[in-house]
Structure 1
Amino acid sequence: MTSQNSDATSKQSSDANRRHFLKSGSVLTAGAATVLAGTRPVRGDEEVAEYERTLASSEPPIRIALVGAGGRGSGAINDSLSINEGIKLVAIADLDGSKLGGLRDSLAKRHEGKVNVADNKIYGGIDGYKRVLDDADVDVVLFATPPAFRPSYIAEAVDAGKHIFAEKPSCVDPAGYRICLAAHDKAVANGTSIVTGTQYRRQTNYVECIKRIHEGAIGDIVSASARYCSNGIWNKIRRPEMSDTEFQVFNWMHFIWLSGDQIVEQAVHNIDTINWIMGGPPESAFAVGGRFTRPEGSEMWDSMAVDYQYPGNRMVSFICRQIPGAANENANVIYGTKGKATIYGINSGAKIEDRDGKETFSMEGNIGAAYQQEHKDLIDSVRSGKPIVELKETADSSLTGVLGRVAAYTGQNVSWDFLANESKLSLFPEDFDINGPRPESSFAIPGQSKLI
């Protein structure tokens, strides 16, 4: 056997052993994870933190890659590197490759010893993610691209045997939803993790308040209201050299095929909270809305109000808007036969009151800790060989946002069954070409926009 063949055989054996280790976990790690799960003190306990650092340092590092290096992607990788020991960033991909070297260098300064991205592991261009998925040196992929790309990227990553963190939303249309469901099932069968960016499911005040709701603290749930009302959103100016498609991807929030509109891209957090409380998605949606302040060329509406009908004849009134100068509100109020629960967004906490208005429970919120905890849970699941696969829940919530949008855009009462099982709506262009043209932008008009 030649030296070259021997080296190749050795590398294949090493990769196979590594994949086995990461899939099954070591006896030490699995045992320690079981102990810690039952006895872990509150976050920040130095004794536990030091134990975890020692444990992680005795094992091969888990190698992660970032796909989509904008603001959310940079935040996600920083959260993962901050909270986790025994990991190493080894590759970065983004449509705009020119910024990636600077990101790598800044992360290396901030997270000493956790960043080892060679120049040939920096991938620019629309196909950069494929280089990441083909890379045997990558164990975990963090996806923070515009939402339109998420279903297919996740599905390809599952096929490649990668563990995944995927930002919300999971999809922007029924076609993407069905791709996500298939990817979820395949990840379960493969034993690979998919953790999603619904950080409120790991925020302690949300977890504890909803646990109490499910235990009957407010009695039977009768109805709820949810609001995600904020100011305006960013808008990017087209550069002269950009193609139509490149500009739309660059300014993705304002194009529905890419973002799904505010109700899907941003307000999905509140929708996910309501689905969590209600035990699943709604049966139907009826909605109104409009646009008053969006910039020229934007396809987004800037306000929607949706009545979601949930099983058990429970109605949820949902409102979202992005209007500069208007009042902000981010809260979910759940009404029961014995009282009500209010869960606020960001860091504003949660409380439960009885029918007389007496507070029976309250807890402060810490969204920063929740952002990091989702990444810790992912890496812990990989290291212990106990995969977390939560794509379906986030896909359900994403499609619930789509349900509200479709009801508002068309002016029709739309059922979950139709959208999930019958709708032919597929927004991603069949002729997608990053250097190609796109039709002139337009926005939906109720009564004219068709239910497909």
Structure 2
Amino acid sequence: MEKQSKTQQDQQAANRRQFLRTGSAISAGVAGAAAMTRPVRGAEPDSKEDNIRIGIVGLGGRGTGALNNTLTINNNIEIVATADIDPNKKNVLQRLKQTYGDKVNVKEEDNHVGLDAYKRVLDNKNVDLVLMTTPPGFRPQYVLEAVEAGKHVFAEKPSCVDVAGYHTCVKAHELAKKNKTGIVTGTQYRRQTNYMEAIKRIHEGAIGDVINMTARYCSSGIWYRSRKPGMSDTQYQLYNWMHFIWLSGDQIAEQAVHNIDVMNWVMQGPPETAYASGGRFTRPEDSEMWDSMSVDFGYSGNRQISFKCRQIPGSAGDNSNHIYGSDGMAVIYGGNRGATIYDRAGKEVWKMAGNIGAAYEQEHKDLIDSIRAGNPIVELQETANSSLTAVMGRVAAYTGQRVTWDFLTNKSELNLFPANLDPNGERPVPEFAIPGKTKLI
């Protein structure tokens, strides 16, 4: 085959991206599908050249999980570019290649390493969709840059860990809608059938008017990685990112945002106020994380939600949502435990099992299907709202102050990301928040 010129290659890539944006054989029904609903599947492409080509930024545990999810459930896709700060993560591709064959098609020159390696993925004209699975602190800016580069995006949760990141997410959401590029987020409960059906029934009045709710994400400990000899401060914090708030946002943002997202989903919007407490008993000395928080969230209509998250080894776990209405109650459990609705007398009137594994895959199928249908889903705003709700609870607990949504969205200057991040540089000595001492900003 005659080698193509760079101009021919660029034109071919542009033609293929146009195909992926408009879809093929789109029916009127498909064209009218709305975001946040499962799109009707469009026609499959005719050749490998019409594959949706995927890049990924972040090849850690969740990144590997996202790759397995999308490669398992989707056909006519291929992974063509990667980026990670750890050169050893390249080995992930070898394992995936053994399982998924030609779906993993990353050339050596497209397997990038370094703190700015994500830019090489965004610069790649062959990449249509980018999976953003880095530590959360990087996510808002990376997602915005991906949208500015004309890419579709899958972004893990949380969307942000501070107020500055929230505003960046809002900007990215609006630009994606304007660009007609998709953003699906890793809030898999929004695609888990028992959650979807239970909340649909709640909104239709199955338990009457929603009065209040309790939500829990309580578990045992979380991983911790000891500092290795020769690591700079920045290298260590990136390596042990869960324990530094500018990277993870603490448990309430990094993990418990799933239940907070359910809260906002049920209440059909974010809260107005947060008042909280908590503390730390078991975290390693240099961890900035607390290990428990309890937050009272106030929603419109004088509705209250009592929320608790905890990570303490040996403690009793609880991942559940209890929604109380004027005519009954709904219980939605995390994982595979399912959902149940009861009437006011306590009689079970509806029940559905859960399948979280299918939900992890469905979010990737919905994104690919919506791209092929020419109507990409854009849902970053919802997840950004839930992520900021988690930040709101954390700020209330850390400062000991009552915090409002209006203050965070319109007045707060909270920006945790370092102004000049040097991989080999020093970082301030880690310290955990103390209510009354930690200021509300």
The answer, yes or no, to whether TM exceeds 0.5 is yes
Q: 1:94 maps to which residue?
A: 84
The CA distance in 2 between the partners of 1:380 and 1:302, in whole Å, is: 39
Report how far residue 403 of structure 1 moved. 0.2
Can you list the C-alpha shifts for 1:219-251, whole angstroms capped at 9, x where unaligned?
Answer: 000000000000000000111121101100110
Among 3, 6, 9, the alignment partner of 1:8 is: 6
The CA distance in 1 between the partners of 2:401 and 2:104, in whole Å, is: 51
Q: 1:434 maps to which residue?
A: 423
The CA distance in 2 between the partners of 1:142 and 1:364, in whole Å, is: 29
Among 148, 151, 157, the alignment partner of 2:146 is: 157
The CA distance in 1 between the partners of 2:198 and 2:372, in whole Å, is: 30
Q: Does 1:118 align with 2:116?
A: no
- 3-state DSSP of counterpart to 1:112: helix
- 1:318-357 → structure 2 map (5 Å cutoff): 318-357=307-346
Report how far residue 33 of structure 1 moved. 8.4
- Whether the aligned pair in 2 keeps the contact of 1:229 and 1:327 (CA below 8 Å) is yes
Q: Does 1:285 align with 2:283?
A: no
Q: Does 1:273 align with 2:262?
A: yes
Q: 1:61 maps to which residue?
A: 51
- 1:44-443 → structure 2 map (5 Å cutoff): 55-56=44-45, 58=47, 60-100=50-90, 102-443=91-432
Report how far residue 31 of structure 1 moved. 3.5
Q: 1:45 maps to which residue?
A: none
- Uncovered stretches (5+) of structure 2, i.e. residues with no partner: 34-39
Can you list the C-alpha shifts for 1:378-407, whole angstroms capped at 9, x where unaligned?
Answer: 111111111100000000000000000000
Task: Give, as a single letter, the amino acid of the residue that structure 1 aligns with 2:144.
Answer: A
Report how far residue 99 of structure 1 moved. 2.3
The CA distance in 1 between the partners of 2:47 and 2:351, in whole Å, is: 41
The CA distance in 2 between the partners of 1:449 and 1:373, in whole Å, is: 41
Report how far residue 32 of structure 1 moved. 10
Higher alpha-carbon deviation: 331-340 or 54-63? 54-63
Report how far residue 92 of structure 1 moved. 1.3
Q: 1:42 maps to which residue?
A: none
Q: 2:19 maps to which residue?
A: 21
The CA distance in 2 between the partners of 1:431 and 1:11, in whole Å, is: 36
Report how far residue 330 of structure 1 moved. 0.2
Task: Give, as a single letter, the amino acid of the residue that structure 1 aligns with 2:117.
Answer: G
The CA distance in 1 between the partners of 2:62 and 2:227, in whole Å, is: 21
The CA distance in 2 between the partners of 1:8 and 1:261, in whole Å, is: 46
Task: Give, as a single letter, the amino acid of the residue that structure 1 aligns with 2:80.
Answer: V
The CA distance in 1 between the partners of 2:411 and 2:30, in whole Å, is: 43
The CA distance in 2 between the partners of 1:147 and 1:203, in whole Å, is: 23
Report how far residue 55 of structure 1 moved. 2.9
The CA distance in 1 between the partners of 2:281 and 2:246, in whole Å, is: 21
- Whether the aligned pair in 1 keeps the contact of 2:30 and 2:373 (CA below 8 Å) is no
The CA distance in 1 between the partners of 2:327 and 2:79, in whole Å, is: 50
Report how far residue 112 of structure 1 moved. 2.0
Report how far residue 358 of structure 1 moved. 0.3
- 3-state DSSP of counterpart to 2:81: strand
Task: Give, as a single letter, the amino acid of the residue that structure 1 aligns with 2:134.
Answer: T
Can you list the C-alpha shifts for 1:327-374, whole angstroms capped at 9, x where unaligned?
Answer: 000000000000000000011100000011100110000000000000
Provide runs of 4+ in structure 1 moved above 2 Å.
30-35, 54-59
Report how far residue 139 of structure 1 moved. 0.6
The CA distance in 1 between the partners of 2:201 and 2:138, in whole Å, is: 37
Report how far residue 57 of structure 1 moved. 5.2
Length, aligned pairs only: 432
- Whether the aligned pair in 1 keeps the contact of 2:235 and 2:423 (CA below 8 Å) is yes
Identity of aligned residues (%): 62
The CA distance in 2 between the partners of 1:9 and 1:135, in whole Å, is: 14
- 3-state DSSP of counterpart to 2:281: coil
Q: 1:40 maps to which residue?
A: none
- Whether the aligned pair in 2 keeps the contact of 1:98 and 1:124 (CA below 8 Å) is no
The CA distance in 2 between the partners of 1:263 and 1:155, in whole Å, is: 24
- Uncovered stretches (5+) of structure 1, i.e. residues with no partner: 38-47
- Whether the aligned pair in 1 keeps the contact of 2:79 and 2:105 (CA below 8 Å) is yes
Report how far residue 12 of structure 1 moved. 2.4
TM-score (norm 2): 0.95
Q: 2:37 maps to which residue?
A: none
Q: 1:445 maps to which residue?
A: 434
- 3-state DSSP of counterpart to 2:301: coil
The CA distance in 2 between the partners of 1:416 and 1:173, in whole Å, is: 13
Task: Give, as a single letter, the amino acid of the residue that structure 2 aligns with 1:104.
Answer: L
The CA distance in 2 between the partners of 1:170 and 1:248, in whole Å, is: 20
TM-score (norm 1): 0.93
Can you list the C-alpha shifts for 1:61-118, whole angstroms capped at 9, x where unaligned?
Answer: 1000111000000000110000000000111111102221x21111111112211111
RMSD of Structure 2 on Structure 1 (CA): 1.8
- Whether the aligned pair in 1 keeps the contact of 2:60 and 2:89 (CA below 8 Å) is no
- 3-state DSSP of counterpart to 2:384: helix
Higher alpha-carbon deviation: 430-439 or 403-412? 430-439
